[in-house]
Amino acid sequence: MPANSFEKTNMIENQHLPALEGMFPSWITTSSDSGEPNTTVISQIWFVSATEVALSFQFFNKTKKNISQNPYAFATIVNPNSFDMYNLELEYNRTENEGDLFDEMDMKLEAIASMSGMSGIFELKGADIYSVLSITKII
Amino acid sequence: MMNNGVDDLQSQLDRRNKEIEIIEKVASQINKNLDLEKIATTMLVSMDRYFDFKHSMILLLDQTESFLKVIATHGYKDEGIGAEVEIGVGIIGVVAKKKKLMRMANIGSQRRYMQTIKKQIELKDKAETKKEIHLPGLANAESQVAIPMLMEDELIGVFAVESDKVNIFDKSDEMIIRILANQTASALQNAKLYKLEQKRLEELDRAHAELAELNANLEQKVLGRTQELVELSTKLAKYFSPQVYESIFSGKLDVKIQTQRKSLTVFFCDLQGFTQLTERLEPETLTELLTEYLTEMSKIAIKWGGTIDKFIGDAILVFFGDPETKGKKEDAVACVCMALEMLDRLEELREIWLQKGFTKSLKARMGIHSGVCTVGNFGSEDRLDYTVIGNGVNLAARLETNAEPNKILISEDTYLLVKDDVKCLKSKEISVKGLSYPVQSYEVSGFSSNSSLYSSKLIKSIPGLSLQFDPDEIEDNERAMKLISEVLSRLV
């Protein structure tokens, strides 16, 4: 296979899973209504299903603001084993405040926060669910 | 390419089978055991031996249900047994709180990320943040799997495996740990229940033994006490008139200050000349004499159903009509009968005493009155006397002092009750303090012939002569008279 080839799919597959465990940080790019882009680093993009991923919502930041105006986002994830990088095209779908996914996110956050003495300060406000439009392997 | 896939699957399957084998082996080992610590240690050692989990620990939920305590560890320099983790703090604490499995792959970077945020918050919002919390386990742990041990949805503890290598545990590790954790949970629960059961049985045995001992002792004590009480009451009985004693014992008479006004027949009696005798006789002789006299008189009083109130030296006070009564008339008649029998018996006693050398002849004087008196328990709260008081009592006493030697003097009231059965002679009038009018007295001479009490029998005996005379039995009057004449002729 040539070095810089692009493989594009629209469903999450086995090879993508290790990249969705928060081993390496991911970065997410959003843009405002007027087209102004913003990129930020996040600790983890969560696997929801073959067609969905989730981001944890703790603070109301630029990313959240942009998404409220323009639901499309662009994210990059890294497989910690192979160092493969993937670009994801995402569309914001909904925010969940309860359920298994929310609980899983909440537990992880709570565990780390309590260890650092940040209980109650760093709280999960919701799980933002995005539809996966495409996944492209880069590198 | 195809072969690689099949090989892959094959090796996966082999691995899976091996894992199941090992799980079964470990499970059987721990299930045989009922010792809490042994179960825990076996589990952790097996985890290392078969699955290469180098650092692990088991924590149990404390009774207070607010924290977990480390009961077994494996792979740590400091065993850390007894270390505590608060519910909701750290990975183990949160797993306990939410009762859900958690797998972390990069604890280090997560914490560093958290530190950065913390600094930002502290600087920006000047918000109060708490200090870092120290938790048992590897200081530089990167990967961890923590599983809640549940029994019927109740949390009994947490099972945790960790490593200083990043992302070392995968989904299948998670599954193995989950299975073994559940096994451990049920084995631990069994052990705990077993321990509790043992303790309960021990306590029960101890309680049984104590009870048996108590029972044995109790029986002994009861027997002993009963014996004591019987002895005591037998002794006390002698200080009471039998009827009073019986009333107290049966519960009919309440032992408290309580009196009633009742119709009674009161009897007084004393020995004329006794006082002089007391000065002349030896104490032992006097006691013997008095005892004999009082015993004989008591027997007769009891026979006729009288309540012996008291002995004052040689004087006797008896009353009829309390605690039990046969009726005013019957009581009065019984009293007179008793008095007559007492006189008869006294005559016999005089003979006996004469034989013993008591030259002084003791004569009795008796007084009887029937009327309303106050009877019951008199005295103080601590010292009771069952006796009778009232004007009627005084009158009986006065009658007694006015009686002729060996005679019975009764009041008009008594006379009216007994005149059908008893022959009496009118006697003097007696004035009594407290009564505005003098009382007519009567002297008892014997039973009236038409009374059922009248006995025509005569039984007399003195040393050397015994006389048994029953007129109803005599078939030949002539022969009887001849016998008596014969005796008379030899005596004169």
Predicted confidence (pLDDT) per residue in A50-88, tens digit: 999 999 888 788 899 999 999 999 999 999 888 999 999
Contact B132 A117 (CB under 8 A): yes
A1 — pLDDT class (breaks 50, 70, 90): very low
| Cβ(A136)–Cβ(A86) below 8 Å | yes
* Pair B274, B359 in one domain: yes
Nearest CA-CA distance, residue A118 and chain B, Å = 6
Q: What are the distances in angstroms from CA B82 to CA B32, B161, B192? A: 25, 17, 17
Contact A117 B88 (CB under 8 A): no
Q: Can you read off the two tokens belonging to residue A132?
A: 């996966």
- Domain boundary among the residues B199, B228, B244 is at B199
Q: Which residues of B touch A118 (CB under 8 A)?
A: 114, 117-118, 129-130
Mark which residues 164-193 of B lie under 8 Å from A by CB. Answer: 166-167
Domain that holds residue B32: 14-199
Q: Which residues of B touch A25 (CB under 8 A)?
A: 109, 113
Contact B167 A117 (CB under 8 A): no
pLDDT at residue A2 greater than cutoff 50: no
* CB neighbourhood size of B440 (10 A): 14
* Pair B62, B191 in one domain: yes
Nearest CA-CA distance, residue B207 and chain A, Å = 48
Residue length, chain A?
139
Phi, psi of A94 (to 5 degrees): -160, 170
CA angle B93, B94, B97 (to 5 degrees): 90
Q: In this predicted structure, what is the pLDDT of residue B469? A: 78
Contact A114 B114 (CB under 8 A): no
- What is the pLDDT tens value at each position of chain B, 492 positions in all? 556 778 888 888 887 888 788 778 877 777 777 788 888 888 888 888 888 889 999 999 988 888 999 999 999 888 788 889 999 888 999 999 999 999 888 888 888 878 887 887 777 776 666 777 778 888 888 899 999 998 888 899 999 999 988 888 887 888 888 888 888 888 888 888 888 899 999 999 999 999 988 888 888 888 888 899 889 888 888 887 787 888 887 887 777 777 889 999 999 999 888 877 777 778 888 888 888 899 999 999 999 999 988 888 888 999 999 888 999 999 999 999 999 999 988 988 888 888 887 766 788 999 999 999 988 888 887 787 888 888 888 899 999 999 999 999 999 999 999 988 888 999 999 888 777 888 999 999 887 766 666 565 666 667 778 777 777 778 888 888 998 898 888 887
* Pair B154, B283 in one domain: no
d(CA A85, CA B165): 22
Examine residue B70 and state whether it is found in any structural domain, yes or no.
yes
* CB neighbourhood size of B472 (10 A): 7
Q: Which residues of A touch B107 (CB under 8 A)?
A: 112
Assess B101–A contact: CB distance below 8 Å, yes or no: no
Q: Which residues of B touch A122 (CB under 8 A)?
A: 114, 117
Contact A117 B129 (CB under 8 A): yes
Contact A121 B127 (CB under 8 A): yes
Contact A108 B102 (CB under 8 A): yes
Contact A116 B114 (CB under 8 A): yes
| Cβ(B187)–Cβ(B33) below 8 Å | yes
Q: Which residues of B touch A80 (CB under 8 A)?
A: 166-167
Task: Write down the domain spans for chain A.
Answer: 7-138
Assess B102–A contact: CB distance below 8 Å, yes or no: yes
| Cβ(B371)–Cβ(B229) below 8 Å | no
Q: Domain count for chain B, please give it.
A: 2
Contact A118 B111 (CB under 8 A): no
Sign of CA dihedral B434, B437, B438, B442: negative
B374-378 contacts: CB < 8 A, separation 24 or more? B374/B259, B374/B260, B374/B261, B374/B262, B375/B259, B375/B260, B375/B261, B375/B262, B375/B264, B375/B319, B375/B321, B375/B322, B376/B257, B376/B258, B376/B259, B376/B260, B377/B253, B377/B255, B377/B256, B377/B257, B377/B258, B377/B259, B378/B257, B378/B259
Q: Which residues of A touch B100 (CB under 8 A)?
A: 103-104, 107
Closest by Cα among B411, B310, B305 to B368: B411
Assess B9–A contact: CB distance below 8 Å, yes or no: no
Contact B114 A112 (CB under 8 A): yes
Closest by Cα among A13, A115, A120 to A58: A120
Q: Which residues of B touch A104 (CB under 8 A)?
A: 100
Examine residue B482 and state whether it is found in any structural domain, yes or no.
no
Residue with the two structure tokens 């009627």:
B392
Which residue has better confidence, B25 or A129? A129
Contact B90 A114 (CB under 8 A): yes
For the residues of B38-53, what is the DSSP string, one character each?
Answer: HHHHHHHHHHHHHH--
Q: Which of A42, A60, A82, A110 to mutate to test the interface with B (most CBs of B within 10 A)?
A: A110
What is this structure's pTM?
0.53
Q: Express each pLDDT in B281-339 by its tens digit.
A: 788 888 888 888 999 999 999 999 999 888 888 889 999 998 889 999 999 999 999 99
Q: Which of B107, B117, B147, B174 to mutate to test the interface with A (most CBs of A within 10 A)?
A: B117
Examine residue B195 and state whether it is found in any structural domain, yes or no.
yes
d(CA B473, CA B475): 6
* Pair B366, B434 in one domain: yes
Q: Least CA distance to A105: which residue of chain B?
A: B102
Assess B113–A contact: CB distance below 8 Å, yes or no: yes
Examine residue B194 and state whether it is found in any structural domain, yes or no.
yes
Residues in CB range of B204: below 8 A, 6 or more apart: none
> Any bridge partners for residue B183, and if so which?
none
Kindly report the CATH number assigned to the domain that includes residue B132.
3.30.450.40
Q: Which residues of A touch B135 (CB under 8 A)?
A: 115
d(CA B424, CA B413): 13
d(CA B214, CA B335): 55
Examine residue B208 and state whether it is found in any structural domain, yes or no.
no
Rg (CA), chain B: 54
Kindly report the CATH number assigned to the domain that includes residue B331.
3.30.70.1230
| Cβ(A40)–Cβ(A83) below 8 Å | no
Q: Least CA distance to A103: which residue of chain B?
A: B98
Examine residue B160 and state whether it is found in any structural domain, yes or no.
yes
How many CB contacts within 8 angstroms connect chain A with chain B? 85
Residues in CB range of B370: below 8 A, 6 or more apart: B263, B264, B265, B266, B328, B331, B332, B392, B411, B413, B414, B417
Q: Does the domain spanning A7-138 belong to CATH 2.30.110.10?
A: yes
d(CA B163, CA B54): 7
Q: In this predicted structure, what is the pLDDT of residue A3? A: 45
> Any bridge partners for residue B239, and if so which?
none
